[in-house]
C-alpha cells in the first residue's frame, strides 16, 4: 500500500511503496501541522527509488514554504522539509530489534531469534550462555 502523500506537490515522478523492504527508498517529508492528526509531524510527501527524484521533491517543498512566506501567509517558523533513506531490510531489522527487546523485557532469552534474524547495526546483544560461553549478536560490521 502506497503511503498517503500530501497532494499539494504534484507527483511528477513515479513513487514507490515506503514499505517495500526489498529496495532502497528515499523518503521526502514535510515537517508541518497535520490537521488530520491535530499535531506537528513529519508528513510523507513522496517516496522514490532514486536520490535525484527525492532531491527534486525536497526542493519543491522548500520552494513552496518560501513562496507562502513571501506571499505573507502565516507559515510556522518550524516548518521545513526532511528526508531519510531506508535501505533494503531496514524494516525487517527494526522489527527484529523490537521483538528482541520485548522478549528480554519478558525474561525470555532471545537466542533463537538472534540466530535466525539480523539486528540493526545500531544494536548489539551480548552475554554468557548456560554453558559459560560468551556470545554476541548485531552491531556494526
pLDDT in tens, 55-72: 999 999 999 999 999 999
Low-confidence ranges of the chain (pLDDT < 70): 1-13, 140-141
Provide the pLDDT for residue 85. Answer: 96
| Residues forming beta bridges with residue 99, ordered by sequence position | none
Provide the pLDDT for residue 10. Answer: 52
* 26's grid cell: 528515499
8 CA to centre of own chain: 22
Report, in angstroms and rounded to the nearest whole number, the Rg of the chain calculated over CA atoms.
20
Tell which residue, 40, 32, 38, 39, has the closest CA to residue 6.
32
Provide the pLDDT for residue 135. Answer: 82
Provide the pLDDT for residue 140. Answer: 66
Provide the pLDDT for residue 26. Answer: 97
CB 57 within 8 A of CB 48: yes
Q: What are phi and psi of 137, to 5 degrees?
A: -135, 145
Amino acid at each position: 500500500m502506497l503511503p498517503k502523500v500530501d497532494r499539494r506537490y504534484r507527483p511528477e515522478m513515479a513513487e514507490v511503496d515506503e514499505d517495500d523492504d526489498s529496495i532502497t527508498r528515499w523518503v521526502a517529508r514535510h515537517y508541518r501541522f497535520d490537521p488530520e492528526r491535530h499535531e506537528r509531524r513529519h508528513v510523507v510527501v513522496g517516496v522514490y527509488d532514486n536520490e535525484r527524484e527525492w532531491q527534486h521533491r525536497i526542493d519543491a517543498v522548500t520552494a513552496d514554504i518560501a513562496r507562502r512566506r513571501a506571499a505573507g501567509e502565516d507559515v510556522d517558523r518550524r516548518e521545513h522539509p526532511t528526508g531519510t533513506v531506508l535501505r533494503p531490510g531496514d524494516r525487517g531489522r527494526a522489527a527484529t530489534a523490537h521483538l528482541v527487546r520485548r522478549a528480554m523485557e519478558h525474561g525470555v532469552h532471545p537466542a533463537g531469534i538472534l540466530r535466525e534474524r539480523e539486528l540493526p547495526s545500531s544494536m548489539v546483544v551480548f552475554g554468557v550462555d548456560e554453558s559459560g560461553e560468551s556470545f554476541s549478536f548485531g552491531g556494526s560490521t
